[in-house]
A and B are shown apart, each in its own frame.
Chain A
Amino acid sequence: MTAISTRLGAADLTLGYGEKAIARNLTVDIPDNRFTVIIGPNACGKSTLLRALSRLLAPTAGSVVLDGKSIEKYSTKEVAKILGLLPQTSIPPEDIRVAELVSRGRYPHQRFLRQWSQADEDAVTAAMEATGVAHLAGERVDRLSGGQRQRVWVALVLAQETPLVLLDEPTTYLDIAFQVELLDLCRRLQREENRTVVAVLHDLNQACRYADHIIAMRGGEVIAAGAPAQVVTADLVADVFGLACRIIADPESNSPLIIPIWQDA
């Protein structure tokens, strides 16, 4: 197996809020220019891990490493140029318009006397086009549908132009067509723009289908990590989710497809 380069990783992380530890001894590597998906049952610490990787949460022990250096050693603005995050839920300011919201993603690139350069303009236009919201530029964000609004938030993170993009449960509250659309978009980002994408997802089959690299967590520990075809087995699903299942090949993508077994048969 060839060594995969990683810019972002975590070594021996202990994470928690206050006294309570949520995860212990987490060691993960995020492969560059790949689509990584973190999966696991509710409250297994997957969002907590994502928050630590994006420096929203300081680890109680261990460290998050970015480009060979502890992430704590960077200024917030330096990190903001390398790593973008879409939080789980965000509330847009009252009566803000789409283009204005997306343009706020440019903050880390702006300075006191350079507040709106050609590069800012181009990045915002490109981000709105990539997410298919360019035609909504003048609309009020609070009047958009859930799917459109989520794409606007993604556009904001894209306008940040970071090589690493982290998304915390980006498909929650979206109906199936929007979920697929958003995941296709993430894949395009990784394939066409060579970004490293990391997402926390709930749907195992979606994770298997879209991910190049899967990190499976349970009870604050990483149980397995690797390519879906190698990692996702009936044993792993039983182990991580406590679900008895069969695994077949997805007829469309050939990735593992999890079929739960009748429990009462």
Chain B
Amino acid sequence: MIRWRIGGLSGRWDRREVVVGTVAAVATVVMAIVALGAGDLTVSPVGVVKALLGTGDPAAELAIREWQAPRVLAALAFGAALALSGAIFQLLTRNPLGSPDIIGFGVGSYTGALVVTLLFSGGYLATAGGALVGGIATAAVVYALAFQQGVGGFRLVICGVAISSMLAAVNYWLILRAELSEAMSAAQWGAGTLETITWQMTTPALCVIAVLMVGVGALSRRHPVFELGPEFGRTLGADSRLSRIGLPVLGVALTAAATAVAGPIAFISLSAPHIARRLVGGGRTPLTVTALLGSLLLIVSDIVAARAFSPRVLPVGVVTVCLGGIYLCYLLYREMRQEQ
């Protein structure tokens, strides 16, 4: 622990958290530079740095600024947003497997987007709007069903699974009755992709996410207290009206901002808080590290999605799902070995 006091101000930082956070930040910057050069026009990392400093090749500079920069920034911001959203839902459900997907957000936003694109042939903005409405409406329904003198984690998970399964069936039906080309592009969106992102889409999402992160920061000190359970949350004074409303709203809004633009990207919300806890230890969910790991995971996944099977491009959601599967298998394997 590093303790500091300056006048009336004071705080303490966990040494391991500082180290892990720094390493994650450096790794994220490095991978972002790699990603900036991994567009249709391949640029070496040195070339990317030169282009960023304005002393590089003009063609590379243009490609990076206009095509790669919005996509990379979106990956960084969405990764962090999804990760923080996951941390909030794991806290609210008191379940390490809790995530915004648990309350049906991803499936609901997909339903919204499908209805808009397939039934009303809406454009990009309409799709984003439909996803937003679908996701938030689903979350609200699940929350309302689970509500019984406060929201219990277990009820929330069960209601979420029930509603998600029903909506998944609706989604299949919508895709089955659609034209092939429409169904293909809808499925691409449904897997979560950063392929088609432009500045017009990235800028508003970045602004929204920045505001939401300030909110997360303001409520962040309450997290360690909530982790002790609902009773201590209340008797230690962390469970106020502000956090009861604020935390679920922030959790949903963070996922919504990313999903509206990129489609439902799985696994980041679930795994980033989990990995952060494991790396830092000491029984806390370090939010800064969680956000950084979310960014890192998504940017790496996006590089893999764009490059691994080149020239064929995968939706980034497919990569994150695969990584998620591998990670969960590893966790189960470890747990089984510990039990023996």
A residues apposed to B, CB below 8 Å: 17-18, 54-56, 75-81, 83-85, 87, 90-97, 100-101, 104-105, 107-108, 110, 112-118, 120-121, 141, 156, 160
Does residue B40 face the partner (Cβ distance < 8 Å to A)? no
Q: Can you identify 18 A-B contacts, CB atoms within 8 angstroms?
A: A54-B234, A75-B237, A77-B237, A81-B237, A85-B235, A87-B235, A91-B229, A94-B283, A96-B283, A104-B236, A105-B236, A107-B221, A107-B222, A113-B10, A114-B10, A116-B11, A116-B12, A121-B3
Q: Does residue B282 face the partner (Cβ distance < 8 Å to A)?
A: yes
The size of the chain B interface, using a CB distance under 8 A, is: 30
> Which residue on B lies nearest to A160, using beta carbons?
B236
Q: Which residues of A contact B284 (CB under 8 A)?
A: 93, 96, 100
Q: Which residues of A contact B283 (CB under 8 A)?
A: 92-97, 100-101, 141
A116–B228 Cα gap in the complex (Å)? Answer: 19
Task: Assess the A114–B9 pair: CB atoms within 8 A.
Answer: yes
Residues of B within 8 A of A160 (CB): 236
Contact A114 B8 (CB under 8 A): yes
> Which A residues touch B218, using CB under 8 A?
112
Which of A84, A93, A101, A112 interacts with B235 by CB under 8 Å? A84
Question: Knowing A56-B234, A115-B12 touch, does A93 contact B227 (C-beta < 8 A)?
Answer: yes
Is B232 engaged at the interface, CB distance under 8 Å to the other chain? yes
Tell me if B149 and A17 are in contact (CB < 8 A). yes
Asked whether B238 is an interface residue with its Cβ less than 8 Å from the other chain, the reply is: yes
| B222 CB → nearest A CB, Å | 8
CA distance A95 to B338 in the complex (A): 15
Most buried by B among A55, A117, A118: A117
Question: Once the chains bind, are A112 and B232 in contact (CB under 8 Å)?
Answer: no
A contact residues around B238 at 8 Å (CB): 76, 107
Residues on B with beta carbons closer than 8 Å to the beta carbon of A114: 8-10
A-B contacts, CB under 8 A, total: 101
CA distance in complex: A115, B232 (Å): 18
Chain A hits for B9, CB < 8 A? 113-114
Across the interface, do B221 and A112 meet the contact criterion of CB distance under 8 Å? yes
- Complex Cα distance, B224 from A238, in Å, reads 46
Q: Give A116's nearest chain B residue, CB to CB.
A: B12
Distance of A94 Cα from B11 Cα, bound (Å): 23
Q: How far is the CB of B236 from chain A (nearest CB, A)?
A: 5
* Beta-carbon contact of A56 and B12 below 8 Å: no
Chain B 1-22, CB-CB to A under 8 Å as 1, else 0, gives 0010100111110000000000
A96 to B231, CA, bound (A): 18
Closest CB-CB distance, A124 to chain B, in whole Å? 11
Please report B residues at the A interface, Cβ cutoff 8 Å: 3, 5, 8-12, 149, 218, 221-222, 224-225, 227-229, 231-232, 234-240, 277, 281-284
Give the chain B neighbours of A85 by CB distance below 8 A: 231, 235
* Residue from B5, B11, B236 in contact with A107 in the complex, judged by beta carbons closer than 8 Å: B236
Q: Are A76 and B237 in contact (CB under 8 A)?
A: yes
Q: Which residues of B contact A75 (CB under 8 A)?
A: 237, 240
Q: Which residues of A contact B5 (CB under 8 A)?
A: 116-118
Contact call B228/A93, Cβ cutoff below 8 A: yes
Residues of A contacting B228 in the complex (Cβ-Cβ under 8 angstroms): 90, 92-93, 101, 104
- Residues in A neighbouring B225, C-beta threshold 8 A: 104, 107
**Complex Cα distance A156/B235, Å?**
12
- A95 and chain B: residue at smallest CB distance: B283
Q: With A76-B234, A76-B240 as known contacts, state yes or no: A100 contacts B229, CB within 8 Å.
A: no
A139 to chain B, nearest CB (A): 12
- Report Cα–Cα, A94/B232, bound state, in Å: 16
> What is the minimal beta-carbon distance from B174 to any residue of chain A, in angstroms?
40
5 shortest interchain CB distances as A-B pairs: A96-B283, A80-B237, A77-B237, A93-B283, A87-B231
Bound Cα distance from A177 to B128, whole angstroms: 64
Q: Is there an interface contact between B227 and A90, defined as CB atoms closer than 8 Å?
A: no
A-B contacts besides A101-B283, A107-B225, A156-B232, 4 pairs, CB < 8 Å: A80-B235, A80-B236, A90-B229, A94-B283
A85 CA / B236 CA spacing, docked (Å): 9
CA gap between A90 and B222 in the complex, in Å? 17
List A contacts of B282 (CB < 8 A). 95-97, 100
CA distance A120 to B221 in the complex (A): 15
A170 to chain B, nearest CB (A): 14
Q: Across the interface, do A110 and B229 meet the contact criterion of CB distance under 8 Å? A: no
Q: Write the chain A residue with the least CB distance to B238.
A: A107
Chain A residues near B229 (CB-CB < 8 A): 87, 90-91
B77 to chain A, nearest CB (A): 24
Q: B214 to nearest A CB, angstroms?
A: 12
**Bound Cα distance from A83 to B234, whole angstroms:** 11
User: B9, B222, B235: which has the most chain A beta carbons within 10 Å?
Assistant: B235
User: Which residues of the partner chain B approach A54 to less than 8 Å between Cβ atoms?
Assistant: 234-235
| Bound-complex Cα distance A76 to B239 (A) | 7
> Are B234 and A116 interface neighbours, CB within 8 A?
no
Minimum C-beta distance from A166 to chain B (A): 8
CA distance in complex: A121, B238 (Å) = 20
In the complex, chain B residues whose CB is within 8 Å of the CB of A87: 229, 231-232, 235
Residue of B12, B231, B234 touching A90 (CB-CB under 8 A) = B231
